[in-house]
Amino acid sequence: MTTATSTAPGPAPRGPDARHHDHEVTTRLRKATGQAAGGLAMYEDGRYCIDVLDQLAAARRALEGAALRILDDHMSGCVLAAVEGGDGAGKVTELLQAVRRYVRSL
């Protein structure tokens, strides 16, 4: 299993302020992984198309829930700290770019 790495130039690792939802995020990501694997197995087994689509929709909901919690942590941790430290404009720009990428991926 490989771990994804960021392609953004010089991002800081998550700090303790950005980890309020760690358990929820990891739980949702594991759930999405299982649901996607289940969808693949269902498809390979020739299961009814609508059932496979429902399984994939559940995986997508789990991913979206994880993404929203990560965004929440980023805003209440990293962005807030940057604003308080005088680098708010840079973090807000970074955040907006990330949200735009995420929205385009839907």
Q: What pLDDT does 2 receive?
A: 46
Q: What type of residue sits at position 52?
A: V
Q: What pLDDT does 105 receive?
A: 81
d(CA 58, CA 35): 7
**pTM exceeding the 0.85 threshold for the entire prediction:** no
pLDDT by residue for the chain (106 residues), tens digit each?
Answer: 444 544 554 445 656 655 668 899 999 999 999 999 999 999 999 999 999 999 999 999 999 999 999 999 999 988 999 999 998 999 999 999 999 998 888 7
What lies within 8 Å, CB to CB, of 32 at 6+ separation is: 59, 60, 62, 63, 66
* CATH number listed for the domain at residues 20-105: 1.20.58.1000
Q: What pLDDT does 1 receive?
A: 46
